[in-house]
Chain A
Amino acid sequence: MASIPASERRPAAPKMRLSLSDPIFRSVVYQVVVVGAVGSLVWYLVSNLEANMETRKIASGFGFLTREAGFAILQKLIDYAPTDTYLRALIVGVLNTVLVAVIGIVLATILGTLLGIGRLSRNWLVARLCTGYVETLRNIPLAVQLFFWYVVIKDNLPAVRQALHPLPGFFLSQRGLAMAVPADNPANPWILAAFAVGVAATVALSRWARRRQAATGQPFPTLWVGAALMVALPILTWLAAGAPTAFDVPELRGFNFRGGIVLIPEFVTLLVGLTTYTAAFIAEIVRSGILAVSHGQTEAALALGLPRGLTLRLVVLPQALRVIVPPMISQYLNLTKNSSLALLVGYPDIVSVANTTLNQTGQAIEGIAIIMAVFLAISLSISGIMNWYNKKIALVER
């Protein structure tokens, strides 16, 4: 059987006889039986499928992708019109999924980290408040929360004409969130480029600093110099361009806002829902990660004469991260998969675009296969990274 190591097998029998007490033969039999059973189940299902498709006159294949989609999409990152193909519609959907997932992950990480640290605060009120947040939000289904936020925005925010104006340049109404953005300026790409140069210079600098410290033992304040580079270079570029301060401010024209960026209410709902829900889980991860590093580690580092900042960076954080990162990545995966609940609030992500597609074309199998393929691609690549990272940081055991 499976659990008997090869070394314990009896010495070669004088005559080879196929018997179930022979572990190798037995394992082959088991595998053949299981694979055969699964295979015949699949064969049975597929033969049913073929018969059903024939009687219902459903064509198979992905030919429909090049046909005209004929439906409009609320939010699109690339040019799209109803006259475009289904394929393009699906790409718009994928991009929308990625957009809400990426922004959601960033915001949830920030909010979750703050909450996780807050739960460990010495201030009783802060700790209780954060605990209350976590215990409330993670025990209510995301679908309920999304519906809740949707009615808050759709039924309870003022109409466009009475839009709330919480911060200069921001307008919140039933039509979503309108935001001011820096106006188009020839200097904008250069400012971005300057930031990229700053990042590259910081990376090079930290490599050089590490080598120098290894050789001479002299530390170099990489963190501060790097931060200064990344901030100063874009600002200098901005100043060199004459410090343009023009903003593209949304203005009320007729029944809607013009100019700036308008986030549709469906996007705002989904983003708020995903962020606040996932942050509750991230808070727990951050908290347990910090608690997992025993206080003796900090004391030992301080006893060795390391300053507090270095203790945190070189002793506490690496150990906390080992605990934090794997569950954190699975939360990121959850957030991405949960973005499929967009369907509930009408945000045009890949699931709702594929759903419309399969309703219009009747290509159920292809539509669902596309949804699953997109999510599998995202999940497998993230879990690939996670396994690689896990292997890298895991403690080596005997």
Chain B
Amino acid sequence: MSDAAASMNNRTALGGVLGTRAAQWVRANLFSGWLNTAVTLVIAYLLAKALYAVVSWALFNAVWDVPGNQTQVCRDLHGIGACWALITHNYRFIFFGTYPYEEQWRPAIVVLIFLGLYGASAMRRFWSIKLLYAWVIGLAAIGVLMWGGVFGMPLIETDRWGGLPITLILATFGAVIAFPFGVFLALGRRSNLPAIKTLCVVYIELIRGVPLVSMLFMASVMLPLFLPQDLTINKLLRAQVAVIMFAAAYLAEVVRGGLQAIPKGQYEAANALGLTYWQGTAFIILPQALRIVIPPLVNTFIAMFKDTSLVSIIAIYDLLNAASATINTEPAWRGFGIEAYLFVALIYWVFCFSMSKYSQHVEADLARAQKR
């Protein structure tokens, strides 16, 4: 084995094996039988054709920059090449909305803080009480950066906020604040006390029965009527309240799923140890129940993240609405909706896809732990 020839020999032998393996794989997965072969060929042909059309539109014939706002070049190529100049000219507005231009480093840092918090929470070695502190500090820093008014940063009112930070704020604060409510609602729904159980069931089913759109309407039109006259809360906060109320009901159902999966013996053991209801729930039941519902919790968060795009209905400039505003307000960029929405879709997709991959990963981990 010491001389080069032998290792060379080995390598070619290995290559041969790999070659036949690859051929075997292709035969088994693409060309087994005439029907399979025909399907493969037809799909490959259509796919190649579609791919060619898309690539030549999105890359080869695309316009990446235009002088000033002169979009005539783009208009001439309409349907032939993409007008990515729309993005290169307007990305700051799409990302940060009407936040003052010179201050946009603040929302940029906010986005980074969010990404850091998500990343740290995904890694199991960071799962400790320190993570909780990190979240508290992080969310406080986000508030300070967005509002300003301290440390020499000018105060920016929430009606100037926009773009990606709005999306992240609504989804994250929504989930964080709704989570404890969701846990209590889930416990209440499984309670033996009829009055509490009824209240929780009614709340959960009521919220889950109506679309988020109607909740947002309620928050924007009805909420001011339900509050004292001298108390006015801004539009963003009202939307946040709607998202929290909505999310709490869905999180409650997820947590309930976890509670139901805990065997009765665990409850009985807690009682037998002489633990009170709250002690048993906090130290025996919830730790186990919440652990198994991590994947569905992440999925609920993904759904919330996507649902925040509905706030455009009540004229809040989140990521989606900022992109719409770009193509609907400036005549120069009118008609390039496909480019704008593809860009926004890509951003949402990156967030949601990585979260769903993570949830699948955790699910597989938990399944392995269960098997042992």
Contact = CB atoms under 8 A, between A and B. Distances in A.
Interface in A362-385: 364-365, 368, 371-372, 375-376, 379-380, 383
Main secondary structure on B side of the interface with A = helix
Nearest to B335: A155
Scoring A2, A58, A136, A139 by chain B CB atoms within 10 A of each residue's CB, the highest score goes to A139
B214 A340 contact: yes
Given A35-B199, A147-B320, A343-B313, A375 B209 contact: yes
B217 interface: yes
B228 A123 contact: no
Contacts of A27: 192-193
B148 interface: no
Interface string B83-118: 000000000000000000000000000000000000
Given A2-B277, A122-B36, A48 B227 contact: yes
Interface residues of A, number: 61
B211 A31 contact: no
B154 to A, nearest CB: 32
Nearest to A52: B225
B257 to A, nearest CB: 12
Nearest to A27: B193
Contact of A379 (B30, B79, B209, B327): B209
Interface stretch (B129-137, B286-294, B338-346): B338-346
Contact of A139 (B218, B309, B341, B348): B348
Contact of B211 (A45, A55, A140, A351): A351
A368 B221 contact: yes
B206 interface: yes
B192 A125 contact: no
Given A126-B39, A140-B352, A355-B217, A1 B277 contact: yes
Contact of B306 (A4, A58, A142, A150): A142
Nearest to B355: A139
A34 B210 contact: no
Nearest to B213: A340
A218 interface: no
A337 B211 contact: yes
A27 B195 CA distance: 10
Contacts of A122: 29, 32, 36
Given A148-B338, A344-B312, A3 B196 contact: no
Nearest to B39: A123
B226 interface: yes
B30 A123 contact: yes
B310 interface: yes
B148 to A, nearest CB: 29
Contacts of A155: 335, 337-338
Interface stretch (B40-48, B120-128, B138-146, B175-183): B40-48
A49 interface: yes
Nearest to A359: B221
A143 interface: yes
Contacts of A147: 320, 324, 337, 341
Contacts of B310: 143, 341
B211 A340 contact: yes
B211 A135 contact: no
15 contacts: A48-B227, A51-B229, A53-B225, A55-B229, A125-B30, A136-B349, A138-B352, A139-B306, A147-B320, A355-B217, A365-B222, A371-B214, A376-B210, A379-B208, A383-B209
Given A34-B195, A139-B348, 4 more contacts: A126-B39, A150-B337, A351-B211, A376-B210
